[in-house]
Amino acid sequence: MIRLFLTVLFGACLILAPAPRATAQDADDLQALLQSQAELVADASRRTVQEVLDLLIASDLPEVPAFLARWQAREVYQRDSDGMFFYVAEEGASPLTLIDITSGEPAGTATSREVSQLRPNRGVQTVIATALVQFQLASDDPVDRLAALDAIGSAPEDSHLPILRDLVATETDADVLEVAEVLLPRLVIAFDADDADRVAAIESLAGNVNLAARAALNPLLVTATGVAETLPEGENIARVLEPGSTALPRDVAYAMLVEADLAPPLLPRDAQRDVLAANVVEGRVGGLPVGQLDTEAARDRAYAALFEAGLAEPAPSEAEIDASLASHVFFETYREPSVAVTDAARATLDGIEMRVGLWRVLDLSLDGLSLASIYFLAAIGLAITFGVMGVINMAHGEFIMIGAYTGYVVQTLVPDYTASIAIAIPLAFAVTFAGGVAMERLVIRWLYHRPLETLLATFGISIALQQIVRQIFGTQARPLTPPDWLAGSVAINDVVSISSIRVAIFLLGAVFFVTLWLILNRTRLGLEVRAVTQNPRMAASMGINPDRINMLTFGLGSGIAGIAGVAIGLFAQVVPDLGSNYIVQSFMTVVVGGVGNIFGTLIGAGMIGGLQKFIEWLNPSNTLAAQTYMILFVILFIQFRPRGIIALRGRAAGD
Q: Is 490 part of a structural domain of the chain?
A: no
User: Has residue 517 been placed in a domain?
Assistant: yes
Same domain, yes or no, for 442 and 565?
yes
pTM for the whole thing? 0.68
Do residue 29 and residue 149 come from a single domain?
no
Number of separate domains in the chain? 4
Q: Do residues 580 and 443 share a domain?
A: yes
Shared domain for 297 and 162, answered yes or no, is no
Domain-embedded: residue 347: no
Q: How confident is the model at residue 305 (pLDDT cuts 50, 70, 90)?
A: confident
Give me the pLDDT at residue 429, please.
93
Residue 239's H or E segment, with its range, is strand 237-241
Tell whether the model's pLDDT for residue 649 goes beyond 60.
Answer: no
Region 32-37: what's the mean pLDDT? 86
111-122: per-residue pLDDT in tens?
A: 888 888 888 888
| 551 contact partners, CB below 8 Å, separation of at least 6 | 437, 440, 441, 445
pLDDT category at 596 given cuts 50, 70, 90 is low
Is 341 within a domain? no
- Does one domain contain both 433 and 535? yes
Are 475 and 550 found together in one domain? Answer: yes
Mean pLDDT of 435-451: 87
> Is the pLDDT score of 407 beyond 90?
yes
Tell me which of 317, 333, 349 is where a domain ends: 333
650 pLDDT more than 80: no
Distances (CA, A) of 371 to 259, 399, 583, 587, 610: 54, 19, 14, 15, 7
Give the pLDDT score at 652: 43
In this model, does residue 16 exceed pLDDT 50? no
* 314 and 372 assigned to the same domain: no
**348 domain-assigned:** no
Domain final residue, candidates 70, 97, 123? 123
Does the structure show a pLDDT above 60 at 3? no
| 238 pLDDT higher than 70 | yes
66-118 confidence digits (pLDDT tens): 888 888 888 889 898 888 998 888 777 778 888 888 888 888 888 888 888 88
- In this structure, the strands spanning 489-491 and 497-499 are antiparallel
Res 640 pLDDT > 50: yes
- Find out whether 389 and 444 touch, Cβ atoms under 8 Å: yes
What pLDDT does residue 471 have? Answer: 92
Q: Specify the DSSP element, H or E, that contains 419.
A: helix 417-442
On whether both 114 and 171 belong to a single domain, the answer is: no
Q: Which amino acid makes up residue 381? A: G
Same-domain pairing of 539 and 406: yes
My answer on whether 618 and 516 are in the same domain is yes
Q: Show the domain range for 474.
A: 357-483+499-653
pLDDT for 252-271, tens place per residue? Answer: 898 898 888 888 887 777 77
Q: How far is CA 618 from CA 74, 177, 355, 374, in A?
A: 50, 41, 20, 21
Among the candidates 186, 201, 221, a domain finishes at 221
Q: Are residues 426 and 566 in the same domain?
A: yes
**Same domain? 552 vs 416:** yes
